[in-house]
Amino acid sequence: MTLAVMARALGPIPLDVAFRVAPGELLALVGHSGSGKTTLLRIIAGLWHAETARVTVAGKVWTDTAAGVNLPTYRRRVGIVFQNYALFPHMTAIQNVTAAMDVADLAEAARILDLVNLQGLADRKPAQLSGGQQQRVALARALARKPQALLLDEPFSAVDRATREKLYAEIIALRQHLAMPVVLVTHDMNEAQLLADRMVVIAAGQLVRDGTAAQVMADPAALRALGIREVAVMLPAVVTAHAADGLTRLETAAGPLFLPGVTGPPGTRVKVRIMAHDVILSRARPEGLSAQNILAGTIARIVMGQGPAVMVYVDLGGQEILARITRRAADQMSLQPGDMIHAILKSMSVARDHIALTPISATGRTNDDD
């Protein structure tokens, strides 16, 4: 059930992109607004026609401009969650779900609503639901189509931060039920890093980088396309204890981390997003410092940028994190690859929504290609 996409167009946004998504894999299409991400989703769904395009799903051709094939949207098994959800306002939540079924099946619709945690709200109209609940209905409706490709177009951009955090966790939990390729369009690197198995970075309609988060973060061209302030890595960690002062102790490969606002019982595996510009480097282990988190590691490599900053890749017991520091500081400390170094991180600099439960990834399924 692999999704393969190729699209070339001259305008309105020049486009030249090709990528594949494996069954059960979640691919994030990232890039600034106007980069052509949403246009790509619309091409997959058959809602927009590029001059040259080829879309195949599970070996079936949906679009092939060369062969003159263009399956109408309603004949494609595609589920879309639109940015503003586009729920049918005159239908209840459950009617929205059954509307996407070939044959309306109320029991199945109720099961899908349960799956997205909408128990008891089946008979509400969209206008009577909160933004987060509307997003869940939109997701349920997309799933009710039994899609061979699930497309999510900035699905979290219209809800507040607290709701978004909850929805992230739900999507991660839902992953084990999703056997189809999933494409998430987002401009939010945090979202992409938390949720996606792989990223395709797009700038001005051109593919800049296709790879894992770590590969993207190691590519200066991709970092330029994303904006340097978005540079961050996901550090895997395990919850070990919740302290009375509200901080949670997390164990990482390089030592303990103390962070606020972490939920989940001890033993929960999480990923913590560490922003490169929040990391301070020190040769000696500092004393008398307010920062709670000091992780010891070695410098893997140093990448010079064009500006006054350098990117230092620090190896923390097998996990790399990035520190964005000034070139001047790197010179004064005469940092060299292989040097022992301490990475310092303020507990409060990790935002609540930058911590996510580890996806119960469907990677086991990604190999049995069509």
Partner 1 sequence: MDWTALALSLRLAGWTVAILFPVAILMGRFLAYRNFRGKGLVEALVMLPLVLPPTVLGFYLLVLLGRNSPVGQWWQSLFGSQLVFSFEGLVVVSVIANLPFAIQPAQRGFEAVAVEIRDAARCCGMSPWRSLWQVELPLAWPGLMTAMVLTFAHTLGEFGVVLMVGGAIPGETRTIAIAIYDRVQGFDDRSAAIMSATLVAISLSTIAVTFWLSARVGRRLS
Q: What residues make contact with partner 1 under the rule CB under 8 A?
A: 45, 47, 72-75, 77-80, 82, 84, 86-90, 99-100, 102, 125, 127, 141-142, 145
User: Which of 41, 35, 133 lies closest to 80, judged by CA?
Assistant: 41
Structure tokens at 261: 């606002």
Q: How far is the CB of 124 from partner 1 (least distance, A)?
A: 12
| CA distances, 135 to each of 92, 178, 218 (Å) | 14, 17, 33
User: Closer to partner 1 at the Cβ: 122 or 356?
Assistant: 122
User: Which of 237, 326, 318 lies closest to 276, judged by CA?
Assistant: 326
User: Closer to partner 1 at the Cβ: 23 or 147?
Assistant: 147
Rg (CA), the chain: 22
User: Closer to partner 1 at the Cβ: 47 or 238?
Assistant: 47
Question: 78-81 and 149-153: which strand pairing?
Answer: parallel
Nearest-angstrom CA–CA distance, 315 and 301: 9
Q: How far is the CB of 305 from partner 1 (least distance, A)?
A: 40
User: Closer to partner 1 at the Cβ: 37 or 271?
Assistant: 37
Q: How far is the CB of 348 from partner 1 (least distance, A)?
A: 39
User: Which of 145, 143, 136 lies closest to 73, judged by CA?
Assistant: 145
Q: How far is the CB of 192 from partner 1 (least distance, A)?
A: 23
Q: How far is the CB of 14 from partner 1 (least distance, A)?
A: 23
User: Closer to partner 1 at the Cβ: 110 or 291?
Assistant: 110
User: Closer to partner 1 at the Cβ: 90 or 328?
Assistant: 90
Nearest-angstrom CA–CA distance, 254 and 293: 11
Nearest-angstrom CA–CA distance, 7 and 63: 10
Nearest-angstrom CA–CA distance, 47 and 13: 15
Q: How far is the CB of 134 from partner 1 (least distance, A)?
A: 12
Residue 48 phi, psi (nearest 5): -140, 145
